[in-house]
Amino acid sequence: MTFHRLAAGGLIDRNKPLSFSFDGKTLTGYEGDSLASALLGNGQVLAGRSFKYHRPRGILTAGAAEPNALMTIGRAGRTEPNTRATMQELYEGLEAKSQNRWPSLDVDIGAVNGLLAPFLGAGFYYKTFMWPAVLWERLYEPFIRRAAGLGRATYDADPDTYDKCWAHCDLLIVGAGGTGLAAALTAGRAGARVIILDEHARAGGGLLCERATIGGWSAASFVSNCLAELASLPNVEVLTRTTAFGWYDGNVFGAVERVQKHVHEPDPSRPVERLWRIIAKQALLASGAEEQPLIFGGNDVPGVMMASAMRSYLNRYGVAPGSNVAIFTTNDSGYSLAGDLEDAGVTIAAIIDSRKDGPTAAYCGNARVVQGGVVSNAHGRKSLSSITVLKDGRSEDLRVNSLAMSGGFSPVIHLACHRGGKPMWSDTHAAFLAPQDLNGLALAGAANAVHGIQACLDAGAKAATDLIARLGIAAKQASFGVVEGDIIVRPARPLWKIPGVKGKAFIDFQNDVHRDDLNLALREGYGHIEHAKRYTTNGMATDQGKLSNVNAIGLVAEASGVSPADVGTTTFRPFYTPVSFGSLTGPSHGKHFQPVRKSPLHDWAKRNGAVLVESGLWYRSAWFPRPGEKDWRESVDREVKNVRINAGLCDVSTLGKIEVTGVDAAEFFNRIYCNSFLKLPVGKARYGLMLREDGHIYDDGTTSRLGESRYFMTTTTAMAAGVMNHLEFCAQTLWPELDVRLASVTDQWAQMTIAGPKARTILQTILDEDISNEAFPYLAAKEISLCGGQLQGRLFRISFSGELAYELAVPAGYGGSVADALMQAGKAHGIQPYGVEALSVLRIEKGHVTHNEINGTVVPADLGIARMVSANKADFIGKKMLLREGLDDPDRLLLVGVMPLRSTDSFRSGAHILAKDATATLENDEGHVTSTCYSPHIGSTIGLALVKRGAYRHGEDILVWNGIRDEYTPGRLCDPVFFDSANTKLHG
């Protein structure tokens, strides 16, 4: 008889049966079950297949370290591969499937790998599959990739939602076992802000599997009492189903709460998982200890289980491990299991104790005890049939249907090592302990190698008192009365190399790393524990070595005749247990991946039929199609022509706008721009060119002087944020002596360009002041009253298009209304809205540059505006580094215009420029096209380009080479100004 549910006992509710399915088979468990306990309760011992040899595997643990019982649960967008059956709560309708087997868990073809094992030793793949080279991608690798991997993930979108939150506390307690609860009560009663979390569905940790009594209460009732009191304390928050996965700088802990992973149909108003970012003044790690396996032949046969897990299934879930059980232990914990089994009526074939002098704990059971013996081999394929016990060289076979093993306990110290501290080996405890003096984090209880309920309760209470005392909070240590039936587990003597092993003795169960693999790695010089890990993949499975690292270190140490201290550990890194993308992402995905920034003219643009396009976080109007227009080009051509003939209105609200005040503002601009600003008169605007300290162009824009010490500056849309940071750096850090103040007013103003021959006429109709050419000439700027004093705005006579043009800024809320007024006023004059596509055509025709040209590698001379760089200013950002030979090398790429030889030809941005008849080689590469458009004005495609000595090659025929699109266009270099180079129109 194998694993089965007992008629009574455990913390499950037998009145609440839950039906679930495993590989399509319908089974029944109870509320309070884990998927693992429910499977065992149904006698389902075979739970999975191993990674490499596809060996049958059973449930090994009852917790987070489970390497074998990984299953795929859920379906469609809720499919979750590699779910640990030991951590998954059972719920009505749960669907679980086994993984990495074909055709079925019972009959898995992949198991033939077991026969090939001699040739599949550690790192065998580094030594073969090399000939012929081409077969790697074609044959070997696809096969390996198909064979590898565990579960299958879905491509479907996740129907559920995820949250994130921040939390602050005086004391964070990780682990709600006896230690943690004692700490929480101590700190909570003292009024400290406490958060205590536990990865399991139920708080209590090991106490939930204990049969001892505390202050007269059963361990389970004791836990309930603690939780009841904690719930009554407003300053304490208890989080179950919550795993602290990482310890980060600043004492920030990352934790994930599985809010609705235990229900069939999640409530849509709540997340399925919540990411916690907990900022803790102090933290206590009460995460317990992990029992370690023993490395004997066939230690992976289903039916072999960790002793503490067997005890947990028995006491917490009322599941007995068959009728005839053996226990193989190196320490006293095996005996507490023995007592519980016997009380549950399970026959114990033998307790095999590797110590000659055990047991010391109060064991009054009547099971046969083999002292100084070992289990050298376990037998059976899909379930355990017998074990070989070896003592004093004599071996004996025992028929058993399950075997509990305990190689001692290793404190769970992962989090304590996430910030660079190295674990230290302790010979006394035969375990790795957390580094000392962790700033802001302490360990207590089993996580600190303390054993026994009483000792852990005391340790937790004391630790809490000490930690909050550092915060100036005085606490009285909680005490809980006498503990009856406490079993103090003396540290185990390490038992690494077990004699008489015949079959494979597994170290890393999931990755199928066995003892011979480790020996081979050592033989081949991969002796450093990091090399051994990487060569054999030991510790790289989903349990991250929770059950395999210490044994591997021990075996390496024994083989090299040194102490585990000398071998050291591999690095503990986040995450303690795997964390889903969903929880790390929270709500920021899909359309909400990034916030949306809307122009004050957004709705106006939509009302006018704009096609909107992402531009950074903004949406901008690309063009305004009209009925009957067959493509975007037709709309854009119309908009461009209309600006040149009548007038157009374009939303430029996304430009960065900065108000600069202070008596030294002029001097400030003089230093941040490379051109001169000291003499800019009030009421005037000026184009400004901003360099980086390395001499290259950073950004450009216009700055207008609105008052003696009040300026209005614009930046490009793309650089707005960066420029503001830069200016603040200059003002606060470089020149604090300057009286200058900066305010971002980008969002305060709706700003629109009105461009075209009829712009003035149209504008004048809504402005209260004269804007004739005399009264308001090119580059004039002023505050102005609109519509009979209804509104104050700002008017700038600036032209990006080369036309008579103005930029009008009005308070953002009025943007739509003013734009409507202008459209109405301009109706008779043929005004039309135009978008960024037309804007781009107009500026290319005029030869104006944008960040297509200002790409971070150009200097003013490259764009033909070296004259703007002031020669007589003592200082400005970028002045000194601009004077490097490389920055005026005659071979630099210079701005130039490009046209196709045949007006019917076109070319695109990103094409390169080759000399006519030159062969297409990198040596012959002479530059590239930065901007292109179809120019209605010219009647063909035109472009701007950065070309070697381009400025001096106007009229030269070249080839526009776009090999990646297989387009080769004969063209000619020309003046980059295609339109009104005399600037008559913008002055008109």
Partner 1 sequence: MRYSALSVFLNGLRGNKDWKPAWRQPDPKPHYDVILVGGGGHGLATAYYLAKEHGITDVAVLEKSYIGSGNVGRNTTIIRSNYLLSGNNPFYELSMKLWEGLEQDFNFNAMVSQRGVLNLYHSDGQRDAYTRRGNAMRLYGVDAELLDSAAVRRMLPFLDFDNARFPIQGGLLQRRGGTVRHDAVGWGYARGADRRGVDIIQNCEVTGIRQKDGQVAGVETTRGFIACNKLALAAAGNSSRVAEMAGIRLPIESHVLQAFVSEGLKPFIDGVVTFGAGHFYISQSDKGGLVFGGDIDGYNSYAQRGNLTTVEHVAEAGKAMIPGLSRVRVLRSWGGIMDMSMDGSPIIDRTGLENLYLNAGWCYGGFKATPASGFCFAHLIARGVPHRTAAAFRLDRFARGYLLDEKGQGAQPNLH
Partner 2 sequence: MASIVPCPHCGSRPREEFTVKGAALPRPAPEAGKDAWLAYVYLRDNPRGSHREYWHHTSGCRRWLVVTRDTATHEITACSDVADTSGVKP
Partner 3 sequence: MVDFRLSPQAALEGKRPVVRNSFILEALPEGHVVQVLANPCDGNICAFIASLANGAQFAVRAAAPGQWFIVGDNALSHAQMQALCASIPSHADAIDQSHGRVRISARGSAVRRVLAKGTAVDLSPDAFAVGHATTTLITHVAAHVSRTGENAFEIMVLRGFAESLWDDLDHMSRDCV
Query: Quick one: 368 or 880, whose CB is closer to partner 2?
Result: 880
Query: Quick one: 590 or 788, whose CB is closer to partner 1?
Result: 590
Residues 946-965 that bind partner 1 (CB under 8 A): 961-965
**561 forms part of the interface with partner 1 (CB under 8 A):** no
**588 forms part of the interface with partner 3 (CB under 8 A):** yes
Which residues are bridge partners to 352 per DSSP? 328, 370
Place of tokens 């090398």: 889
Work out the number of other CB atoms within 10 angstroms of the CB of residue 439.
Answer: 8
**728 forms part of the interface with partner 3 (CB under 8 A):** no
Residues 289-348 that bind partner 3 (CB under 8 A): none
Cα(185)–Cα(478) distance, rounded to whole angstroms?
7
Query: Quick one: 28 or 748, whose CB is closer to partner 3?
Result: 748
Q: Which of 7, 127, 232, 437 binds partner 1 (CB under 8 A)?
A: 127
**593 forms part of the interface with partner 1 (CB under 8 A):** yes
Q: Which of 792, 855, 857, 981 binds partner 3 (CB under 8 A)?
A: 792
Collapsed DSSP state (helix, strand, coil) of residue 485: coil
Comparing CA positions, the residue from 615, 842, 596, 598 lying closest to residue 718 is 615
Choose the one of partner 1, partner 3, partner 2, none that binds residue 961, judging by a C-beta under 5 to 8 angstroms depending on kind: partner 1
Choose the one of partner 3, partner 1, partner 2, none that binds residue 749, judging by a C-beta under 5 to 8 angstroms depending on kind: partner 3
Shortest Cβ 89–partner 1 spacing (Å): 17
Residues 141-160 that bind partner 1 (CB under 8 A): 141, 144-146, 148-158
**254 forms part of the interface with partner 1 (CB under 8 A):** yes
Which residues are bridge partners to 957 per DSSP? 972
Q: Which two tokens stand for residue 924?
A: 């012959």
Q: Which of 16, 75, 270, 573 binds partner 3 (CB under 8 A)?
A: 270
Q: Which two tokens stand for residue 308?
A: 């503490």
Q: Which of 141, 397, 603, 975 binds partner 3 (CB under 8 A)?
A: 603
Shortest Cβ 103–partner 1 spacing (Å): 15
Provide the residue type at 962 as one letter.
N
Query: Quick one: 240 or 744, whose CB is closer to partner 3?
Result: 744
Collapsed DSSP state (helix, strand, coil) of residue 14: strand
Query: Quick one: 251 or 454, whose CB is closer to partner 2?
Result: 251
Cα(941)–Cα(274) distance, rounded to whole angstroms?
54
DSSP H or E segment with residue 907: none
CA 93 to chain CA centroid, nearest Å: 32
Choose the one of partner 1, partner 2, partner 3, none that binds residue 765, judging by a C-beta under 5 to 8 angstroms depending on kind: partner 3
Cα(154)–Cα(55) distance, rounded to whole angstroms?
26
Q: Do 489 and 331 meet the contact criterion of CB atoms below 8 Å apart? A: yes
Query: Quick one: 19 or 732, whose CB is closer to partner 2?
Result: 732
Choose the one of partner 1, partner 3, partner 2, none that binds residue 165, judging by a C-beta under 5 to 8 angstroms depending on kind: partner 3
Comparing CA positions, the residue from 116, 142, 117 lying closest to residue 129 is 142
Residues in the interface with partner 3 (CB under 8 A) total 58
Cα(208)–Cα(218) distance, rounded to whole angstroms?
10
Residues 403-442 that bind partner 1 (CB under 8 A): 418-420
CA 517 to chain CA centroid, nearest Å: 34
**631 forms part of the interface with partner 1 (CB under 8 A):** no
**78 forms part of the interface with partner 1 (CB under 8 A):** yes
**776 forms part of the interface with partner 3 (CB under 8 A):** no
Sign of CA dihedral 641, 646, 650, 652: positive
Collapsed DSSP state (helix, strand, coil) of residue 806: strand
Shortest Cβ 795–partner 3 spacing (Å): 15
**908 forms part of the interface with partner 1 (CB under 8 A):** yes
Query: Quick one: 559 or 881, whose CB is closer to partner 2?
Result: 881
Q: Do 262 and 242 meet the contact criterion of CB atoms below 8 Å apart? A: no
Query: Quick one: 12 or 278, whose CB is closer to partner 2?
Result: 278
Collapsed DSSP state (helix, strand, coil) of residue 487: coil
Q: Which two tokens stand for residue 585?
A: 């992402």
Query: Quick one: 731 or 929, whose CB is closer to partner 2?
Result: 731
Helix axes 515-523, 549-560, angle to 10 degrees: 50
Q: Choose the stretch contacting partner 3; rule: CB under 8 A; options: 209-217, 567-575, 597-605, 936-944.
A: 597-605
Site string for partner 3, 148-167 (x = CB under 8 A): ---------------xxxxx
Shortest Cβ 393–partner 1 spacing (Å): 23
Q: Do 844 and 976 meet the contact criterion of CB atoms below 8 Å apart? A: no
Query: Quick one: 168 or 902, whose CB is closer to partner 2?
Result: 168
**588 forms part of the interface with partner 1 (CB under 8 A):** yes
Q: What are phi and psi of 55, to 5 degrees?
A: -75, 145
Cα(71)–Cα(36) distance, rounded to whole angstroms?
10
Burial call 640-676: b when 16+ CB within 10 Å, e when fewer: bbbbbebbbbbbbbbbbbbbbbbebbbebbbbbbbbb
**193 forms part of the interface with partner 3 (CB under 8 A):** yes
Query: Quick one: 277 or 949, whose CB is closer to partner 2?
Result: 277
Cα(244)–Cα(250) distance, rounded to whole angstroms?
15
Q: Choose the stretch contacting partner 1; rule: CB under 8 A; options: 70-78, 430-438, 653-661, 706-714.
A: 70-78
Query: Quick one: 218 or 240, whose CB is closer to partner 3?
Result: 240
Sign of CA dihedral 45, 47, 50, 55: positive
Shortest Cβ 145–partner 1 spacing (Å): 5
Residues 820-839 that bind partner 3 (CB under 8 A): 821, 824-825
Q: Which two tokens stand for residue 392?
A: 């004093």
Choose the one of partner 2, partner 3, partner 1, none that binds residue 136, judging by a C-beta under 5 to 8 angstroms depending on kind: partner 1
Site string for partner 1, 508-547 (x = CB under 8 A): --------x---x--xxxx-x-xx--xx-x--xxx-x---
Residues in the interface with partner 1 (CB under 8 A) total 121
Q: Write out the residues near partner 2 by the rule CB under 8 A.
A: 248-252, 277, 279, 419-420, 439, 693-694, 721, 725, 728-729, 732-734, 736, 874-875, 879-881, 883
Query: Quick one: 126 or 484, whose CB is closer to partner 1?
Result: 126
Comparing CA positions, the residue from 316, 323, 291, 315 lying closest to residue 43 is 323
Cα(342)–Cα(350) distance, rounded to whole angstroms?
12
**580 forms part of the interface with partner 1 (CB under 8 A):** yes
Q: Do 477 and 462 meet the contact criterion of CB atoms below 8 Å apart? A: yes
482 dihedral zone (left: phi>0; alpha: psi -120 to 50; beta): beta
Give the chain's radius of gyration (CA, Å): 38
Cα-based torsion angle of the residue sequence 168, 170, 174, 177 in order, rounded to the nearest 10 degrees: -130
Choose the one of partner 1, partner 2, partner 3, none that binds residue 728, judging by a C-beta under 5 to 8 angstroms depending on kind: partner 2
Shortest Cβ 199–partner 1 spacing (Å): 14
**840 forms part of the interface with partner 3 (CB under 8 A):** no
Burial status of residue 156 (CB atoms within 10 A of its CB: 0-12, 13-18, 19 or more): exposed
Burial call 782-805: b when 16+ CB within 10 Å, e when fewer: bebebeeeebebbbbbbbbbbbbb
Residues 642-701 that bind partner 1 (CB under 8 A): 692-696, 698
Query: Quick one: 246 or 625, whose CB is closer to partner 2?
Result: 246
DSSP symbols for 389-418:
EEETTEEEEEE-SEEEEE--EEE--TGGGT
Q: Choose the stretch contacting partner 3; rule: CB under 8 A; options: 130-138, 296-304, 413-421, 580-588.
A: 580-588
Choose the one of partner 1, partner 2, partner 3, none that binds residue 563, judging by a C-beta under 5 to 8 angstroms depending on kind: none
Half-sphere exposure in the Cβ direction for 16 (13 Å, CA): 9
Residues of this chain that interact with partner 3 (CB under 8 A) are 163-168, 193, 269-271, 277, 279, 586-588, 592, 594-600, 603, 618, 659, 661-662, 710, 739, 741-749, 765-766, 786-788, 790-792, 811-818, 821, 824-825
